[in-house]
Structure 1
């Protein structure tokens, strides 16, 4: 059944047919993927359910929507229609931000680092910071009402699991008055904004299921990044840092925005594990 499902998914153009076939099987059977070879097999009802899920995946419905969750660093987050599915590449930005917040905590014992996650979506970055650095004061900002539902659900689930609560803020990250109460107080600001240039071809999983306003960032992909760069300079404390994920066509454009602003130092580009430009960082000059 796994071989047949993988062949069906491969014929439909799914990029990882065998792993997806296995994940769907573990979901139906209720076993861990490592235990799948030891599973007794499908009952008739389970087999029918599995075939339906494989057909939906062959129709390019995101695997995470079918499973109801997405893995991100150490967390499993609820996702579905209306919210951007977090990508493994964004874990690198989260890792950088967590390391920066840990540095602040070490330099200022007894003081909670203030961390802001803009365009939070499912809350992947914000909740990872809270999980891995419980001492941090974490703010998650999201505009979309549908994405906010997922964000609040995930925040509640993590709080119920014993993680420190985060502060969910319903706001537009392009608002010049965003988080006015935190002006000059933020230690680490992270943002995975919509950054794909309009008109770019994207896979059906993205085009048909991810919210367009969480994917596309205007004609050049920088429509949200520009105001975020400006507002981050006002929110950050002296010496505070900012990291923004961007398109792989932006390794020059985003650092140039930081430099042109005039309030940043130590502007740096960071590649992903495949060597493609992934995010850029900067420090608020004193």
Structure 2
């Protein structure tokens, strides 16, 4: 074994780590936004280890299926579709074709909602997640606010299977139905309504990243010419569901900052409508309180 200056041993580089370096360059050349992370995550998935344990994989154990996974990611298939899993706050979710893959920026939206629910003077807060998809939002709130009662509503026939799969064994109640007509039996009782709805304008189709445009369900992405059609409908649903003083939290595109709070205006029965930034200081979600009588 060769030595480094000072007598420290020079360990031979793992074959897998060398392959990860090559994969990183391939993914970077293909325009993948996070090539190193994705190359490592694919290697960890294929070899059944954690990302921090890649150096422990012996050369003899290198699995050539790694290059099959890299080729799929190189073609801009979502990382989460290849691995079948998505990480969201403290959750590991099952995802795949037919369901929207939860994004990191939504974690700050849910963090605000969790803090708001915890601050409520309510023994068992009632929460409704509209356009639930994988169930990420509903499950995160149920996990981090153990006394909450959480309902998840999803319309898509394909996505609802993933919602139910992830919700299995949890406390959340899953409903297959339209968010704009959801849960009339809870009218006037809900403490918080939250949603990550479709909000991309139809005119922006060609600018959407291939991972989303070609693999996420279209109904989870696009919503009318200005992207706000579903949000306008959710405004009416949220006002119907919420108790006086209850809160609505709704994600939107960073280019829609300022527009969404206007939908939740005083004339429509709202108070304290405001926009909030994500970790990159871009407007990411709006909140409002149902006005008191």
TM-score (norm 2): 0.90
Given candidates 46, 50, 53, the residue that maps to 1:28 is: 46
Residue pair 1:230, 1:261 contacting (<8 A) in 2 also: no
Given candidates 185, 189, 194, the residue that maps to 1:190 is: 194
Residue pair 1:197, 1:220 contacting (<8 A) in 2 also: yes
Residues 179-218 of structure 1 mapped to structure 2, 5 A cutoff: 179-200=183-204, 201-218=207-224
Please state if 1:119 is matched with 2:131: yes
SS in 1 for 2:264: helix
Given candidates 142, 145, 157, the residue that maps to 1:145 is: 157
Using a 3 Å threshold, how does the CA distance of structure 1 residues 218 and 249 change in structure 2: closer, same or farther?
Answer: same
The structure whose Rg is larger is 2
SS in 2 for 1:120: coil
Give the CA RMSD over aligned residues. 1.2
2:109 corresponding residue in structure 1: 93
Q: CA deviation at 1:195?
A: 0.2
Please state if 1:63 is matched with 2:82: no
Partners of 1:199 and 1:24 in 2: CA distance: 34
Using a 3 Å threshold, how does the CA distance of structure 1 residues 281 and 78 change in structure 2: closer, same or farther?
Answer: same
SS in 2 for 1:224: helix
Using a 3 Å threshold, how does the CA distance of structure 1 residues 42 and 181 change in structure 2: closer, same or farther?
Answer: farther
Partners of 1:51 and 1:29 in 2: CA distance: 12
Aligned residue pairs total: 272
1:7 corresponding residue in structure 2: 25
Please state if 1:281 is matched with 2:284: no
SS in 2 for 1:218: coil
Partners of 2:185 and 2:167 in 1: CA distance: 22
SS in 1 for 2:127: strand
SS in 1 for 2:103: coil
Residues 172-183 of structure 1 mapped to structure 2, 5 A cutoff: 172-175=178-181, 178-183=182-187
SS in 2 for 1:199: helix
2:94 corresponding residue in structure 1: 78
Using a 3 Å threshold, how does the CA distance of structure 1 residues 41 and 223 change in structure 2: closer, same or farther?
Answer: farther
Partners of 1:228 and 1:42 in 2: CA distance: 55
Partners of 1:42 and 1:281 in 2: CA distance: 54
Partners of 1:103 and 1:197 in 2: CA distance: 35
Q: CA deviation at 1:43?
A: 2.9
Structure 2 unaligned segments of length 5 or more: list them.
Answer: 1-18
TM-score (norm 1): 0.92
Q: CA deviation at 1:199?
A: 2.5
Partners of 2:112 and 2:283 in 1: CA distance: 15
